[in-house]
Amino acid sequence: MLDPAWVEAHHTEFDVYHLHFGFDAQSPDELRALIRALRRHGKPLVQTVHDLRNPHHLDPGPHDAALDVLIPAADRLITLTRGAADEIERRWSRTARVLPHPHVVEEPELSMPRPPHDGFVVGVHAKSIRPNMRPLSVIHALAEIIEQLPDASLRVDIHTETGNPDAYAYAPHTLEALRSLADDGLIDLRIHDYFDDTQLWDYLRSLDLSVLPYAFGTHSGWLEACYDLGTAVAAPDCGYYAQQRPCFSYHMEDDGPDADTLRSAVLRARHENPAPRARPEARAAEREQIAAAHRALYEEVLR
């Protein structure tokens, strides 16, 4: 759908082109060609700006170049937080409509009670170690914090492919370090394939606190899922996570977390446990409002 040829072939089948993700591999020239194709056929472009800094790119340059094409060209812009909207105004002199992210977890899981468990469980999911992640430094800092809390434990999850020499995500040194921490009894290490949705919701419900080990980023769908399920989140102070949903913030440097602010986030989460949880009826109403706002915006650009 990012290919101008797709627009040429399908322009009679849609009214508005709404872009969220997927343009990482497109060059600025290819995006300009896409916009020209949309203009030729009178199709408005709406963009929801989720990422002002791409979590999959160490170098922000390519994503900035893409946004430099898309944001000035869009007929309407949406983003998730006031801070992101202010940054868009600052960088491109464009106004973005702020609409929150709708719930990620669907019923019946959205209303499902959290299963009881002993102690205070802190989790870090390293996934396949995206470029914006600093899992080892965060886990080492957390292990020291958790060791001083007699009722707390630290669960660390990571994807199997990080141990596959043929995989892009191969990270033998990280796995070796995690196994060493597990052997010392400092972490509960789980190495597994990607969770499906049900497994992911069960995993998040098993945690009291999910710590996001991000060095950069903007918004988080993971944070939304945790809010849906009643799992507290400790998020770094980069990006606009703290404006998105209730969470505990800590300071992250390029090479790892500030230990004092991370400790404060963990202790506050433990003191305030259980975490705030989205009310299903409020989330349903919010989703209706978001849908209505999108419809009104589409009708506006079509006029």
Here the tokens at position 117 are 């468990």
Cα angle vertex 82, ends 78, 83, to 5°? Answer: 110
Name the percent of the chain lying above pLDDT 70.
100
Q: Are residues 48 and 130 in the same domain?
A: no
Here the tokens at position 106 are 């669907």
For the chain, how many structural domains are there in total? 2
Q: Provide the mean pLDDT of the chain.
A: 97
Instruction: Give the pTM.
Output: 0.95
Domain span at residue 68 reads: 4-103+287-302
pLDDT at position 137: 97
Q: Are residues 227 and 294 in the same domain?
A: no
Q: Are residues 258 and 297 in the same domain?
A: no
Task: CATH number of the domain at 116, please.
Answer: 3.40.50.2000
Give the Å distances, CA to CA, from 89 to 20, 86, 168, 180, 196.
Answer: 19, 5, 36, 47, 38
pLDDT at position 14: 98
pLDDT at position 199: 98
pLDDT at position 254: 81
pLDDT at position 5: 97
155 close to 122: Cβ distance less than 8 angstroms: yes
Q: What span, in angstroms and rounded, lies between the C-alpha atoms of 153 and 266?
A: 12
Q: What secondary structure does DSSP assign to 23-90, as a single string?
A: -TT--HHHHHHHHHHHHHTT--EEEEE--SS-TT-SSSHHHHHHHHHHHHH-SEEEESSHHHHHHHHH
Q: Are residues 35 and 138 in the same domain?
A: no
217 close to 51: Cβ distance less than 8 angstroms: yes
pLDDT at position 255: 84
Other residues' Cβ atoms within 10 Å of the Cβ of residue 164: 13
User: Does residue 260 sit within a domain?
Assistant: yes
Low-confidence ranges of the chain (pLDDT < 70): none
User: Does residue 221 sit within a domain?
Assistant: yes
User: Does residue 149 sit within a domain?
Assistant: yes
